[in-house]
Amino acid sequence: MIKTFVVMLSTDSDLTPSILAEKIALVSGVEYKETCYGLLLEGEEAALEKALAELRKLDPNRIFYKVRGYRIGDKRICRAKRGGGPRPGYHMLSMEREVLKNVSKALEAGEGGAVEGLGKEKGAGDEEEAAERERKKQAIDVSLLKKIIGEEEKGEGTGAEKEEKKERGSGGSRD
């Protein structure tokens, strides 16, 4: 079955659509069209899987792809046939592309790197911080969760909110 994929480069990638096109030109059985944000790929599923795997090897955290609903050259979304203007879905695609740099950073952080601006670099105190993060990640007891939900539904608030109310007194202002 023939499928079409949109291949998008993250805005912080060092690669260009031309580099991707050169790599795809070496893969037989796949048609491609170079775009400002990456490529459109079209072909049989097996050939596409091979081509996408080859592209991802170039920069796995900055090359993304998804299925496209229209084939390359489809007259229903061709700008020339519709009288110009952006193609349907272009603005959403543009917004998605802007988010990809953050996804790339998160992927790199998941591989053991640090996300700039979200934490400090690896250092001596990391074992203690990792242990603290693991402690915080532990699952909450189901009965405690039900109790908290029940209090919220009744409008009583959580235990911490009750303690805060006791400290302030019964009602009154915070001033």
* Helix or strand (DSSP H, E) at 64: strand 63-67
What pLDDT does 169 receive? Answer: 55
Q: What is the pLDDT of residues 4-50, one digit of tens each?
A: 999 999 999 999 999 999 999 988 789 999 988 999 999 999 999 99
In sequence order, what are the beta bridge partners of 38? Answer: 8
pTM, 2 dp? 0.59
Q: What is the pLDDT of residues 133-147, one digit of tens each?
A: 676 667 777 888 788
In sequence order, what are the beta bridge partners of 157? Answer: none
Q: What is the mean pLDDT of the chain?
A: 79
Q: What is the pLDDT of residues 98-113, one digit of tens each?
A: 888 888 888 888 766 5
Chain position carrying tokens 């209090």: 151
For residue 125, CA distances in Å to 117, 121, 122, 128, 131 come to 18, 10, 8, 6, 10
* pLDDT reading at 54 higher than 50: yes
Cβ burial of 18 (10 Å; 0-12, 13-18, 19+) is exposed
What pLDDT does 175 receive? Answer: 42
* pLDDT reading at 116 higher than 70: no
CB 105 within 8 A of CB 111: no
In sequence order, what are the beta bridge partners of 30? Answer: 43
Give all domains of the chain, ordered by start, each with its CATH number.
Answer: 2-110 (3.30.70), 127-166 (no CATH)
